[in-house]
Amino acid sequence: MPPKPVSTVAVESMFVDELETYRAQRREKDYELIDVREPSEYAAGHIPGARLMPLSRLTNLLGELAPGKELLFYCATGGRSMAAALMAAESDLKPTRVVNLQGGYMAWDGKELVDYPKVRLLTDKASLADMLQEAMHLEKGAFRFYTLSSAQESAWAETAQKLVQWERRHAQAVYRLLEASTRQEPLPPFDALFEALPGTILEGGEPLEEVVKKLQGLPMSSCYAFAELALDIECQAYDLYRNAAAAAKDSAASEILRELAEQEKSHLSFIAKVFAACPPEDS
């Protein structure tokens, strides 16, 4: 079966102070402004004209949109909307343009913004085996982060523990692909190899210690705050593998990296449901 083609629609970024100029230059039928927060957040305040499509239900709601439009997504600060934009860019809607509004509603409403992790692509490696070895290192970084998160007495400990299990399973999937790739020497057993990996960096290029500092700054009672941070991490992982697949010169490597991107999508979907489960006062 030939590999599924990767969408050529690139996700663009736009600051919210550019939104009014953008809207003034377009007819209303040519674009959709989509709020991917939860209903309680939308009810508390939203950008006028925005359509509510919570990220936790987005895969089911995308079919309600007309194809061929420009799609603009926003959330509270930009993390959830980036995940939504990436999903829409690869959907059957075939949008003419996909935009993530940086800063989200907090920027539009004049509130203080948080930092955004910068998405970085997978380093160009000499071989598929080298790519997969680096991927395992990045998965170990995420595994270590969620392990530290699950050890805290917090509203998100249970969610973090589930993500620990997901990251380990994903690392095992990468290991199996690495095992099947062309190598001169056999691999050590998964447990030994995974234990030996330092895991000091995450998929977005951020050092683990920097992401842990962000974790330590979160209120322990806010599952929303942790979900936003986790979504940033998984969104970067998805974008990392998706773009690496598009850039790969070897078709076999491209297919494998695309499969890893598909697996990351399931992480995004899981975290998206966390927002719906959080109590309204937590938003």
pLDDT of residue 147: 97
As beta bridge partners, residue 226 has none
Query: Looking at the predicted structure, is the pLDDT value of residue 116 above 50?
Result: no
For the chain, the first-to-last Cα distance in angstroms comes to: 44
Domain count within the chain: 2
Report pTM: 0.76
Are residues 70 and 157 located together in one domain of the fold? no
Query: Looking at the predicted structure, is the pLDDT value of residue 114 above 50?
Result: no
Are residues 94 and 147 located together in one domain of the fold? no
Residue 51: inside a domain: yes
Position 8 confidence tier, pLDDT thresholds 50, 70, 90: low
Residue 116: inside a domain: no
Q: Are 100 and 12 in contact (CB under 8 A)?
A: yes
The residue out of 79, 108, 137 marking a domain boundary is 108
Residue 6: inside a domain: no
Tens digits of residue pLDDT in 158-207: 999 999 999 999 999 999 988 887 666 788 999 999 999 999 998 777 89
pLDDT of residue 210: 93
- What is the percent of the chain where pLDDT is above 90? 48
- What is the percent of the chain where pLDDT is above 70? 88
Residue 118: inside a domain: no
C-alpha distances out from residue 124 to 9, 52, 91, 243, Å? 22, 39, 27, 11
The 3-state DSSP class for residue 249 equals: coil
Are residues 244 and 158 located together in one domain of the fold? yes
Chain mean pLDDT for the chain: 85
The residue out of 51, 78, 108 marking a domain boundary is 108
Tens digits of residue pLDDT in 258-278: 888 888 878 888 888 888 887
The residue out of 74, 108, 142 marking a domain boundary is 108
pLDDT of residue 239: 75
Q: Kindly state the average pLDDT of the residues 119-142.
A: 76
Residue 68: inside a domain: yes
Dihedral pair phi/psi, residue 249, rounded to 5°: -85, -25
In whole angstroms, what separates CA 85 from the centre of its chain?
10
Are residues 246 and 190 located together in one domain of the fold? yes
pLDDT of residue 141: 95
Are residues 147 and 251 located together in one domain of the fold? yes
Are residues 155 and 275 located together in one domain of the fold? yes
Are residues 90 and 144 located together in one domain of the fold? no
The 3-state DSSP class for residue 207 equals: strand
Q: Parallel, antiparallel, or unpaired: how do β-strands 97-102 and 31-35 relate?
A: unpaired
CA–CA separation, 71 vs 50, rounded Å?
A: 11
Strand order in the sheet with 11-15: 11-15, 97-102, 70-74, 31-35, 51-52
Residue 121: inside a domain: no
Are residues 60 and 30 located together in one domain of the fold? yes
CATH number at residue 24: 3.40.250.10
- Per the structure, the complete domain to which residue 181 belongs is given by 128-282
CA–CA separation, 283 vs 275, rounded Å?
A: 8
Are residues 30 and 81 located together in one domain of the fold? yes
Query: Looking at the predicted structure, is the pLDDT value of residue 101 above 90?
Result: yes
Residue 1: inside a domain: no
Q: Kindly state the average pLDDT of the residues 142-158.
A: 95
CA–CA separation, 129 vs 68, rounded Å?
A: 39
Contacts of 271 (CB under 8 A, 6+ apart): 159, 163, 227, 230, 231, 234
* Sequential DSSP letters for 61-120: HGGGSPTT-EEEEE-SSSHHHHHHHHHHHTSTT--SEEEEEETHHHHHTTPPPPP-PPP-
CA–CA separation, 108 vs 117, rounded Å?
A: 20
pLDDT of residue 182: 62
Tens digits of residue pLDDT in 9-40: 889 999 988 998 999 899 988 999 999 999 99
Residue 190: inside a domain: yes
CATH number at residue 153: 1.20.1260.10
Contacts of 208 (CB under 8 A, 6+ apart): 141, 144, 145, 199, 200, 201, 202
Are residues 135 and 272 located together in one domain of the fold? yes
Are residues 55 and 168 located together in one domain of the fold? no
CA–CA separation, 37 vs 105, rounded Å?
A: 10
Are residues 62 and 141 located together in one domain of the fold? no
Tens digits of residue pLDDT in 238-253: 877 877 777 777 788 8
Query: Looking at the predicted structure, is the pLDDT value of residue 118 above 60?
Result: no
The single-letter DSSP state of residue 201 is B
Q: Are 107 and 82 in contact (CB under 8 A)?
A: no
